[in-house]
Structure 1
Amino acid sequence: MDFDLVVKNGFIVTAAEVHPPGLEIGVKNGKISCIGVGLPQGPNTKVIDAEGGYITPGGVDSHVHLSQRNCPTGDNWETGSRSAIAGGTTTIIAFVSQEKTNDSLIPVLRDYQAKSTDQSYSDYGFHMILTNPNKTILEKELPMLAKEEGITSVKLYMTYEPMKLSDRQLLDIMTACRALGMTTMIHAENSDMIDLIIERLEARGHTEPYFHAFARPQLAEAEASYRAICLAEIIDAPVLLVHMSSETALQHVRAAQGRLLPIHAETCPQYLYLLSEKLKKTEDDHYHGAKSVCSPPLRHEPSDLDCLWQNVANGTITTFSSDHAPSKYNVPGGKRLGLINGIPKFTKIPNGLPGVETRMPLLFNRAGRIEQGNRITMPRFVQVTATNPAKLYGLDGIKGSIAPGYDADLVIWSIEKENGVTITNSMLHHDIDYTPYEGMTVKSWPRYTILRGNVVWDRDNGGLIGKMGDGKYLKRGKGQILNGRTGNPVKGMATGEREHWA
C-alpha cells in the first residue's frame, strides 16, 4: 500500500499513553490507516518528519460562539475557524441560538446554516441554545434535529434575563434529551443573587469593569451548580456544567461523580491563567478592564487558579474548551457598549473573551512529565482537548484520537526547536483587536495542523495554508456518558419510587 501521508519520528500521544519513539502514522484517503514501523512510501507519498516532537490528535473545541447576533463585532465563521486551525483545533462546535420569540428551531437553524456553509476552515458541528422550550420543540423538533441534522446537544442558561429558564423548564428539557441520548450543557449561576448584588453595586456607584467580578461571586456558581446536579439526579439525566470556575462548585461535581452520577464539567483557559486584576483600569486606559469581562468572571486569588489546575489533573474536569465569545474593544458596538457618556457600566459590556486559537497552546504549556514541573500529563492533555469532547458530543470513532479508522486530524508540536513563543495579538488569526494573553510566553505552538490528511497549517512555511471551505459539517451521533452512569437510586426515595412518575 502506498500511503498519501506518513508522519514519522515523533512521540504519538493518545488519551491512554505516550507511545515510544519509532512509530509512524500512515494516512490514506483522509483516514488514519495504520500505525507501525517502516511504513512503505510511494512516489506520491508526502512525508512529514516530526523531528522528535509530540503528535497529538487535532483539537475538538466544543464551546465556540461564531456569527451570533449578540456579538455583532465578534468573529464570523471564516475568521473564527481559521484561528482554530492556526492553534491546532480541527473541529469546533458552535451555537445556534434560539430567542424567546422563536416558537420553532428550524428557521433559526436554517439561518445559521447559511452563515456557516462553505465558510469554515475547520470541521464543525452545532449545539442548540434553547430559551423557549415549547411542547412542539421538545416532542417533535429535537428528535428531528438529532436524527436528520445530527445535532445531539443543547445548551441551557440559569442566568441572563433573555435566556434563563425556570427549574421546571430545565427538568422538561433534561427529560427530553435523556430519551434522545442528547448531551445537555448548562450555564449554572444563580440569577437572583447576581441581580441583587448588581442593584446594590449600582446604587453605590460601583460600575467600573472591575466590579463585574464582585457581581457574580463563586457562591452564585456553586449554588446553581448544586441545584443543576439535583435536577439532573431526580430525572436521571447526564449533564455537562460549562465554563466552571468555582472551587465549591467543582466540589459539588466531584462529590456527584463519587456517587457515580453522570455529571461532567468543563473549564476554559481564562480560569487557569487570569485573575480579576485584569478587570482593573490602567494608567493609560481607565476602561481597559472591559477587555476581560466574561461570565463566570475571573476569580480573585492564585489559589483559585491552582484549584482549577488540580481539577483538570484529577479528572473532575471532563473537557477543556475556549468559550470563544469575543467582541472587539476599539469599535462601536463592541466592548465599548459599556462606556456610556464617558461613564463605565459593567452590566452593558458584552461578555466573552477570544481564545479559540490560544486554547491548545495554553494547556500544552503545562503538559508533560509531572516530575519536570508540569501540571498535567500529556495523555490528560489529549483527553480534555480532543478525546473526551469527541466522545461526549457524538464524534467517537471519527475525531479525537490517533487510531486506525479515525480522521487523520493531527497536531505536531516542536518544543526543542524554540525557547518559547510569546503570544501577541498580531500573530493571531481571529478578527479581534486584542488578546487577554498578550505578552504571555508558552513553551510551544503547533508546527503543523493536519485536517483529514491535509496540512492546513505549516508554521515554518507560510502559516495558514488551508482555505475557507475545507471544513465540513459533522452530523453527530449520541453522546457518551464519561463519568458515572444512569440508573442510580436517589437517596431518600423508596425502591421503585421514581418509576411511578418518571
Structure 2
Amino acid sequence: MPTFDLIVRGGSVATAVDVMRADIAIADGKVAAIGHDLGDARAVVDAGGRLVTPGGVDSHCHIEQLSAMGVTNADTFETATASAALGGTTTVIPFACQHKGDDLSAIVRDYHALAGRGAIVDYALHLIVTDPTPATLTEQLPALVKAGHGSIKIFMTYDAMKVDDEQVLDILLVARQLGAMVCAHAENHGMIKWMVQRLLDRGYTAPKYHAVSHPRGSEAEAFNRLIAMSELIDQPIMIFHVSTAEGAATIHAARGRGVKVFAETCPQYLFLTAEDLDKPGMEGAKWCCSPPPRAASDIEALWQALARGDLQTVTSDHAPFSYDEKGKFANGPNPTFKQIPNGMPGLQARMPLMFDAIVSQGRMDVTDFVRITATAPAQLYNLADRKGSIAISKDADLVVWDTEREVTLTDDLMADATGYTPYVGRTVKGWPETVVRRGEVIVADGALTGRAGSGEFLPRGGGKAAEPTGRTAAEFDPARNFGAVLL
C-alpha cells in the first residue's frame, strides 16, 4: 500500500525564510513529510525544474456582495474562487456585509450558504459593520467572533456605509474585549464629498475625475485619526489598500513609536496610475476603484514600504463589477464618475503580478513573495496553524510555478465573471501550473479541476496581532490611555 496520498516531487520549495530542494508528501490533506526518497504515493506531481510555494492567502476580496450603490458583484463564490485557484490562491477572506438596518447574524448565515454552495478554495469571513447598534455590538458581534469570525471591517467614508468617530471608538473597544482585529477603509469623507460636488458642479463628470475626487491628503488624515483612536483604546488595526506615499509615511511613523498598526496595499497601487482612468468614452470606468490609483512616485514609495515591512501584505481587493448595465453602467450608459460602482477584479492576477515583479524582475526575494502573499496574511488573521506555509501538519496548499513561462494577460484569460482585467496587455513571467488545496489538485496544467462547494470554512479568532498588550486596566496610566480604564 502507498504510504502517502500525493507526493510533489523534485521541486525547489520556497517558504518565507528559505528555499530548498525537497519533495513534499501529503496524507489526509496535510503535509506529512518534507525531504528526499519519501516512498510511494497514490499520485505524484512532477515539480522538476519548478518552484513550489504555499498557496496564496488573499485576505481582502468582495464576493457576491451588495455594494453601497445597490449593485451586486458580478461573481458568485464559484466564479470568484475558480479565478483565485487558477491564479494560485487557495484561501480567501471575503466579507459578510451589513447594511444599515441589517441583522449581522442573518447576513453571515446568508454568506455561509452562498460560500457552501460555490467555494472551490477555503475561506473565512470578515464582518463589515455599518450599523453599530447595541444589539450589533453586545449580542451579535460576541457570538460571531466566538463562532470563528475574528475580524471586523469599518468604513470611514461612503454615505451609506461610514461610521463616525464615536462609533469607531465603540467598535474598537468591543473588538479589544473580544480579541478581534479591526480593519478599515480609511479616507476623509468630508474632503471627498466636498471635492465630488465641486467637480460635478463644474461639469467634470468623466471617469478620470474619480481619481481627482479622492484627494491624496484624505488618506493620511484618516490614517492619523484612526491610529489616534486605536492608541486610545489600545486596539490593533489593519489599514486596507494604502495608495499614497503620505499614507505609507504615516504608518511608518506610527509603527516607529510602537503603535499596533498593520497595513496592506494592492496590485492596482503597485502597477497602475491615475492615468489609466483617462480612456476614450466611458472605458475608464473599468479602472474606477477607491481609493484610486495614484502617481508613479507613489508606486515606488509603496514598494519601499513593503521592503521595510511597514506594509505586510498585498491583497487583490477584488471588487468585480461587470462592464455592462448590470455593473459599471447600472446607473445608465453615461454615468458620472460618482455613479460608477467602485472596484475592479484582481483575484486571479494578484499572485502572477507579484511573482513577476518580486521573483522574475528581482524587486525582492522569493521568500518575500511567499511572506507577502501567503505567510503574513495567514499570521495576521489567525490562520497560520493551517495556512500560509509549507510545514509538517499544516494544510497541503501548494502552487507549482513554471518560472520561465511568459503570459500576456487578456480579458479572455480571466475566469471571474467580470469580463475584463485592468491589467490587460501586461506580460508576466512565472505562471501557476499546478495548484493543490488540502492535498487535492484543483488546478492541473493550468486547467481548473476543483469542484464548487469543496472549499471549507476556516473558523478563527482575532489573530496574534489582535491581542492587547496583556496589561490589566489597573496597570495603565489613565493620563496616557483613557480607553484602557473602560475595560
Which category of TM-score, normalised to the shorter sequence, fits these structures?
Answer: over 0.9
Match of 1:216 in 2: 214
Q: Deviations over 1:372-415 (max 9, x none)?
A: x5212111111121111111112111111100010000001011
Tell me the CA shift for residue 160 of structure 1: 0.2
Specify the code of the residue in structure 1 equivalent to 2:95: F
**1:335 equivalenced with 2:328 (yes/no):** yes
User: Against the structure 1 CA distance between its residues 189 and 39, is the aligned structure 2 distance closer, same or farther, given a 3 Å change threshold?
Assistant: same
Percent identity between matched residues is: 42
User: Against the structure 1 CA distance between its residues 205 and 415, is the aligned structure 2 distance closer, same or farther, given a 3 Å change threshold?
Assistant: same
Match of 1:31 in 2: 30
Match of 1:86 in 2: 86
Kept in 2, the 8 Å contact 1:122–1:472? The answer is yes
Q: Deviations over 1:443-499 (max 9, x none)?
A: 011011101111110135xx0111112211111133121899676999997477665
**Separation in structure 2 between the aligned mates of residue 482 and residue 303 of structure 1, nearest angstrom:** 32
Q: Deviations over 1:140-195 (max 9, x none)?
A: 221211222x1111100000000100111111111111121111100000000001
Match of 1:429 in 2: 415
**Separation in structure 2 between the aligned mates of residue 265 and residue 432 of structure 1, nearest angstrom:** 27
**Separation in structure 2 between the aligned mates of residue 500 and residue 439 of structure 1, nearest angstrom:** 55
Match of 2:376 in 1: 388
**Separation in structure 2 between the aligned mates of residue 312 and residue 51 of structure 1, nearest angstrom:** 31
**1:347 equivalenced with 2:363 (yes/no):** no
For 1:248-397, list aligned pairs within 5 A.
Answer: 248-282=246-280, 286-299=281-294, 301-329=295-323, 331-337=324-330, 339=332, 342=334, 344-368=335-359, 373-397=361-385
Structure 2 segments unaligned to the other structure (5+ residues): none
User: Against the structure 1 CA distance between its residues 201 and 499, is the aligned structure 2 distance closer, same or farther, given a 3 Å change threshold?
Assistant: closer
Specify the code of the residue in structure 2 equivalent to 1:478: G
Kept in 1, the 8 Å contact 2:399–2:436? The answer is yes
**Separation in structure 1 between the aligned mates of residue 8 and residue 109 of structure 2, nearest angstrom:** 39
User: Against the structure 1 CA distance between its residues 100 and 495, is the aligned structure 2 distance closer, same or farther, given a 3 Å change threshold?
Assistant: closer
Tell me how large the CA RMSD over aligned residues is: 2.2
**Separation in structure 2 between the aligned mates of residue 492 and residue 251 of structure 1, nearest angstrom:** 28
For 1:4-23, list aligned pairs within 5 A.
Answer: 4-19=5-20, 21=21, 23=22
Kept in 2, the 8 Å contact 1:261–1:486? The answer is no
**Separation in structure 1 between the aligned mates of residue 11 and residue 342 of structure 2, nearest angstrom:** 40
Match of 1:246 in 2: 244
Aligned residue for 1:35, secondary structure, equals strand
Aligned residue for 1:217, secondary structure, equals coil
Match of 1:459 in 2: 445
**Separation in structure 2 between the aligned mates of residue 486 and residue 200 of structure 1, nearest angstrom:** 48
User: Against the structure 1 CA distance between its residues 501 and 35, is the aligned structure 2 distance closer, same or farther, given a 3 Å change threshold?
Assistant: same
Matched pairs, number: 482
**Separation in structure 1 between the aligned mates of residue 481 and residue 424 of structure 2, nearest angstrom:** 56
Specify the code of the residue in structure 2 equivalent to 1:203: D
Tell me the CA shift for residue 333 of structure 1: 2.8
Query: Which of 62, 65, 89 lines up with 1:65 in the alignment?
Result: 62
**Separation in structure 1 between the aligned mates of residue 485 and residue 179 of structure 2, nearest angstrom:** 22
Kept in 1, the 8 Å contact 2:478–2:484? The answer is no
User: Against the structure 1 CA distance between its residues 123 and 326, is the aligned structure 2 distance closer, same or farther, given a 3 Å change threshold?
Assistant: same
**Separation in structure 1 between the aligned mates of residue 329 and residue 480 of structure 2, nearest angstrom:** 57
Specify the code of the residue in structure 1 equivalent to 2:427: T
Tell me the CA shift for residue 72 of structure 1: 2.4
Specify the code of the residue in structure 2 equivalent to 1:337: A
Specify the code of the residue in structure 1 equivalent to 2:155: Y
Tell me the CA shift for residue 52 of structure 1: 2.1
Specify the code of the residue in structure 1 equivalent to 2:298: D
Tell me the CA shift for residue 313 of structure 1: 1.8
**Separation in structure 2 between the aligned mates of residue 218 and residue 403 of structure 1, nearest angstrom:** 42
Specify the code of the residue in structure 2 equivalent to 1:334: G
Aligned residue for 1:444, secondary structure, equals strand
**Separation in structure 1 between the aligned mates of residue 118 and residue 73 of structure 2, nearest angstrom:** 17
**Separation in structure 2 between the aligned mates of residue 451 and residue 111 of structure 1, nearest angstrom:** 25
Tell me the CA shift for residue 112 of structure 1: 2.0
Kept in 2, the 8 Å contact 1:247–1:308? The answer is yes
**Separation in structure 1 between the aligned mates of residue 144 and residue 371 of structure 2, nearest angstrom:** 28
Tell me the CA shift for residue 362 of structure 1: 0.5
Kept in 1, the 8 Å contact 2:207–2:284? The answer is yes
Structure 1 segments unaligned to the other structure (5+ residues): none
Match of 1:114 in 2: 113
**1:145 equivalenced with 2:136 (yes/no):** no
For 1:162-241, list aligned pairs within 5 A.
Answer: 162-241=160-239
Match of 1:415 in 2: 403
Kept in 2, the 8 Å contact 1:236–1:486? The answer is no
Kept in 2, the 8 Å contact 1:57–1:386? The answer is yes
Deviates more, 1:113-122 or 1:182-191: 113-122
Aligned residue for 1:264, secondary structure, equals strand
Aligned residue for 1:478, secondary structure, equals coil
What is the TM-score of this pair, normalised by structure 2?
0.95
Kept in 1, the 8 Å contact 2:124–2:459? The answer is yes
**1:133 equivalenced with 2:132 (yes/no):** yes
Aligned residue for 1:176, secondary structure, equals helix
Specify the code of the residue in structure 2 equivalent to 1:74: A
Q: Deviations over 1:344-396 (max 9, x none)?
A: 40000000000000010000111238xxx521211111112111111111211
**Separation in structure 2 between the aligned mates of residue 483 and residue 306 of structure 1, nearest angstrom:** 32
Kept in 2, the 8 Å contact 1:93–1:125? The answer is yes
Kept in 1, the 8 Å contact 2:409–2:425? The answer is yes
Specify the code of the residue in structure 2 equivalent to 1:24: D
Tell me the CA shift for residue 281 of structure 1: 2.4
Kept in 1, the 8 Å contact 2:84–2:90? The answer is yes
Q: Deviations over 1:40-64 (max 9, x none)?
A: 115x2x1112122211110111111
Aligned residue for 1:110, secondary structure, equals helix
**Separation in structure 1 between the aligned mates of residue 409 and residue 319 of structure 2, nearest angstrom:** 19
Match of 1:477 in 2: 461
What is the TM-score of this pair, normalised by structure 1?
0.92
Kept in 2, the 8 Å contact 1:366–1:375? The answer is yes
Aligned residue for 2:262, secondary structure, equals strand
